[in-house]
Amino acid sequence: MQEFLQYIFSGITNGAVYAVIALGFSMLYGSTGLINFAQGEFVMIGALSLISLWKGVNLPLPLAFAGAVAITAIAGAMLERFAIRSVKKPHPIVLVIITVGASILLRGVGMLVWGKDSHGSPSFSDHAPYDILGATLLPQSLWILVLTLGVVLGLHIFHKRFLTGRAMLACAISTKAAGIVGIPTEKMVLLAFSMSAAMGGIGGVLIAPLSMSSFDMGMNLGLKGFCAAMIGGLGSSWGAVVGGLLLGVLEALGVGFLSSGLKDAAAFVLLLLILYFRPSGLLGTASVQRF
Amino acid sequence: MRYLILMAGVLAAGFGLSSPYQIQLLTFIGINSLLALGLNMLMGYAGQISLGHAAFFGLGAYVTGVLTAHFHWSPWLALPVAILLTAAAAFLIALPLLELSGFYLGMGTLGFGMIGYVVFRQWSSLTGGDSGLVGIPSLELGPLSFADAKNYLFLVWAVALLCIFLCDRLIHSRIGRALRAIHDSERAASSMGIDTGRLKVHIFVLSAVMAAIAGFLYAHLVSFISPGSFDFLVSIRIVTMVVIGGMASVWGALLGASVMTILPETLTVFTEYEMIVYGLIMITIMIVIPQGLFRGILDIYERARFRTGSIPAGPQA
Amino acid sequence: MKAAGIASIGVLAAAAVMLVMIAPGQSWGKEPYRIGGIYAITGSSSFLGDPEKKSMEMAVEEINSRGGIDGHPLEAVILDSEGDPTKAVLAANKLISKDKVIAIVGPSLTPTTLAIVPVVEKAGIPLISCAAGIKITEPVKPLVFKTAQNDVLAVSAIYRHIQGRNIKKIGIITVENAYGESGRDQLKALAPKFGINIVQAETYGAKDTDMTAQLAKLRAAQPEAIVCWGTNPGPAVITKNVVQMNMKIPLYQSHGVASPKYIELAGPASEGVLLPTGKILVAEQLPESDPQKNVLKSYIAEFEKRFSMPVGGFGGYAYDGTYLLAAALKGTEGDKKKIAENMEKIKGHAGVTGTFAFSPQDHNGLGADAFVMVEIRGGKWHLLK
Amino acid sequence: MNAQGSGQEAFLPVLRLEEISRSFGGIQALNDVSFEVAPGAIHALIGPNGAGKTTLLNVITGSCPPDTGAAFLGDCRLNGRKPHERVSLGIARTFQNIELFGSMTVLENVLVGRHVKTRCGFFGAMAGLPGCSLEERKARQRAHELLDFVGLSEAADWRSTDLPFGWQRFLEIARALATGPKVLLLDEPASGLNPVETSTLCDLLRKIRENGVTLLLVEHDMNLVMEISDRVFVLNHGMKLADGTPCEIQANEAVISAYLGRERMGGKCSACAI
Q: H helices within chain B, ranges in order? A: 2-16, 20-40, 53-69, 75-97, 104-122, 124-127, 149-171, 174-184, 186-191, 196-222, 232-245, 250-267, 274-288, 293-305
Q: Burial code of C190-221, b = ≥16 C-beta within 10 A, e = fewer?
A: bbeebebebbbbbbbbbbbbbbbbbbbbbbbe
Class of domain C151-277: alpha beta
Average pLDDT over every residue of B277-288? 86
Among D83, D102, D125, the residue with its CB nearest the CB of B191 is D83
Where exactly are the structural domains of chain C? 33-148+297-367, 151-277
- Is pLDDT above 70 for A288? no
Burial class (CB in 10 A: 0-12, 13-18, 19+), D12: middle
Which stretch of A276-280, C269-273, C276-280 has the lowest confidence by average pLDDT?
A276-280
State the amino acid at position D143 in one-letter form.
A
Minimal Cα–Cα distance from A123 to chain C, Å? 11
Average pLDDT over every residue of D184-202? 89
- Is pLDDT above 80 for C357? yes
Distant-in-sequence, close-in-space partners of A76: CB < 8 Å, separation ≥ 6 = A42, A193, A194, A195, A196, A197, A198, A200
- As a whole number of angstroms, the distance between CA B161 and CA B150 comes to 16
Average pLDDT over every residue of C352-359? 91
Average pLDDT over every residue of C27-47? 84
In the sheet with D239-244, reading across from the earlier edge strand, the strands are: D91-93, D183-187, D214-218, D42-46, D231-236, D239-244
- Is pLDDT above 50 for D268? no
Find the closest chain C residue to B131 by CA distance. Answer: C178
Average pLDDT over every residue of B93-108? 75
Residues in a beta bridge with A119: A213
Any idea which architecture C33-148+297-367 has in CATH?
A: 3-Layer(aba) Sandwich (3.40)
Which stretch of A50-64, C273-287, D46-60 has the lowest confidence by average pLDDT?
D46-60
pLDDT classification of B55: cutoffs 50, 70, 90:
very high
Mean pLDDT for chain D overall = 83
Residue scoring higher pLDDT (A288 or B294): B294
Among C204, C246, C265, the residue with its CB nearest the CB of A260 is C204
SS3 of residue B297 by DSSP:
helix
pLDDT at B266: 81
Burial class (CB in 10 A: 0-12, 13-18, 19+), A57: exposed
Residues of chain D positioned with their CB less than 8 A from the CB of B181: 101, 104, 112, 115
Tell me the per-residue pLDDT of B102-157, one tens digit each, with 9 for 90 and over.
667 778 888 899 899 989 988 888 888 888 888 888 888 878 888 788 888 889 99
* Percent of residues, chain D, with pLDDT higher than 70: 90
B274/C123 Cβ within 8 A: no
Residues of chain A positioned with their CB less than 8 A from the CB of C216: 2-3, 6-7, 10, 135, 256
pLDDT classification of D260: cutoffs 50, 70, 90:
low
Which stretch of B5-19, B33-47, B243-257 has the lowest confidence by average pLDDT?
B5-19
State the amino acid at position D147 in one-letter form.
L
pLDDT classification of B305: cutoffs 50, 70, 90:
low
In the sheet with C33-39, reading across from the earlier edge strand, the strands are: C74-80, C33-39, C103-105, C127-129, C144-146
A275/B275 Cβ within 8 A: no
pLDDT at B59: 95
pLDDT at A116: 81
State the amino acid at position C341 in one-letter form.
E
pLDDT at A256: 84
- Is pLDDT above 90 for B87? yes
Find the closest chain D residue to B163 by CA distance. Answer: D126
C265/A211 Cβ within 8 A: no
Residues of chain A positioned with their CB less than 8 A from the CB of B281: 101
**C-alpha count within 13 angstroms, C-beta hemisphere, residue D96:** 11
Find the closest chain B residue to A216 by CA distance. Answer: B275
A13/C237 Cβ within 8 A: no
The whole model's pTM is what?
0.84
Find the closest chain A residue to B103 by CA distance. Answer: A291
C115/B132 Cβ within 8 A: yes
Mean pLDDT for chain A overall = 86
* Percent of residues, chain B, with pLDDT higher than 70: 91
Q: Which of D126, D168, D177 to substitute to test the interface with B, most B CBs within 10 Å?
A: D126
Average pLDDT over every residue of C191-211? 90
Contact yes or no for C148/C106 (Cβ under 8 A): no
CB count, 10 Å around CB of D233?
25
Task: Flag whether D touches C (3+ CB pairs, 8 A cutoff).
Answer: no
Q: At what angle do helices A139-161 and A237-257 cross, to 10 degrees?
A: 160
- Is pLDDT above 60 for D272? no
pLDDT at C300: 92
Which stretch of B96-100, C98-102, C117-121, D223-227 has the lowest confidence by average pLDDT?
B96-100
Contact yes or no for B52/B112 (Cβ under 8 A): yes
Contact yes or no for D156/D146 (Cβ under 8 A): no
SS3 of residue C124 by DSSP:
coil
pLDDT at A175: 78
Tell me the per-residue pLDDT of A105-140, one tens digit each, with 9 for 90 and over.
999 999 889 988 888 888 888 778 888 888 888 888
Tell me the per-residue pLDDT of A260-284, one tens digit each, with 9 for 90 and over.
778 888 888 888 888 888 877 787 7
pLDDT classification of B101: cutoffs 50, 70, 90:
low
- As a whole number of angstroms, the distance between CA C158 and CA C252 comes to 7
Cis peptide preceding C235, ω within 30 of 0: no
Among C83, C97, C181, the residue with its CB nearest the CB of B21 is C97
Contact yes or no for C346/C145 (Cβ under 8 A): no
Tell me the per-residue pLDDT of A152-181, one tens digit each, with 9 for 90 and over.
999 888 888 888 888 887 877 777 888 888
Residue scoring higher pLDDT (B34 or C27): B34
pLDDT classification of B313: cutoffs 50, 70, 90:
very low
B244/A100 Cβ within 8 A: no
CA A113 to chain centre: 22
pLDDT at A291: 33
In the sheet with D27-37, reading across from the earlier edge strand, the strands are: D27-37, D15-24, D68-73, D76-77
Burial class (CB in 10 A: 0-12, 13-18, 19+), A171: buried
pLDDT classification of C35: cutoffs 50, 70, 90:
very high
pLDDT at D62: 87
Among B21, B224, B274, the residue with its CB nearest the CB of C94 is B21
- As a whole number of angstroms, the distance between CA D240 and CA D52 comes to 10
Among B19, B131, B264, the residue with its CB nearest the CB of C182 is B131
Q: CA dist D254 to C246, D44, D48, D50, Å? A: 86, 18, 13, 18
B282/A112 Cβ within 8 A: no
SS3 of residue B112 by DSSP:
helix
**C-alpha count within 13 angstroms, C-beta hemisphere, residue B119:** 15
Contact yes or no for D52/D29 (Cβ under 8 A): yes
Minimal Cα–Cα distance from A98 to chain B, Å? 5
CA A245 to chain centre: 13
**DSSP codes joined into one string, A158-191:** HHHH-HHHHHHHHHHH-HHHHHHTT--HHHHHHH
Distant-in-sequence, close-in-space partners of B20: CB < 8 Å, separation ≥ 6 = B149, C93, C96, C97, C123
Tell me the per-residue pLDDT of A209-220, one tens digit each, with 9 for 90 and over.
888 898 888 888
Q: CA dist C184 to A121, C203, C254, Å? A: 29, 9, 11
Burial class (CB in 10 A: 0-12, 13-18, 19+), D129: middle
Q: Which of B311, B139, B307 is nearest to B223 (CA)?
A: B139
Task: Flag whether C touches A (3+ CB pairs, 8 A cutoff).
Answer: yes
pLDDT at B315: 31
Tell me the per-residue pLDDT of B213-225, one tens digit each, with 9 for 90 and over.
999 999 999 888 9
- Is pLDDT above 50 for D274? no
| Domains C33-148+297-367 and C151-277 equal at CATH topology level | yes
Q: Which chains border C (3 or more CB–CB pairs < 8 Å)?
A: A, B
Q: CA dist C18 to B231, C14, C128, Å? A: 49, 6, 35
Q: Which of A56, A25, A64, A57 is nearest to A41 (CA)?
A: A25
B115/A272 Cβ within 8 A: yes
**DSSP codes joined into one string, D78-93:** -TT--HHHHHHHTEEE
Q: Which of B191, B311, B316 to substitute to test the interface with D, most D CBs within 10 Å?
A: B191
Residue B236 forms contact with C (CB below 8 Å): no
Average pLDDT over every residue of B26-34? 93
Average pLDDT over every residue of D145-170? 88
Residues of chain B positioned with their CB less than 8 A from the CB of A220: none
A101/B276 Cβ within 8 A: no
Where exactly are the structural domains of chain A? 2-125+139-277
Residue scoring higher pLDDT (C30 or B79): B79
pLDDT at C209: 83
Residue scoring higher pLDDT (C41 or A70): A70
Q: At what angle do helices A218-232 and B104-122 cross, to 10 degrees?
A: 130
B122/A98 Cβ within 8 A: no
| CATH code assigned to A2-125+139-277 | 1.10.3470
Q: H helices within B123-249, ranges in order? A: 124-127, 149-171, 174-184, 186-191, 196-222, 232-245
pLDDT at D128: 79
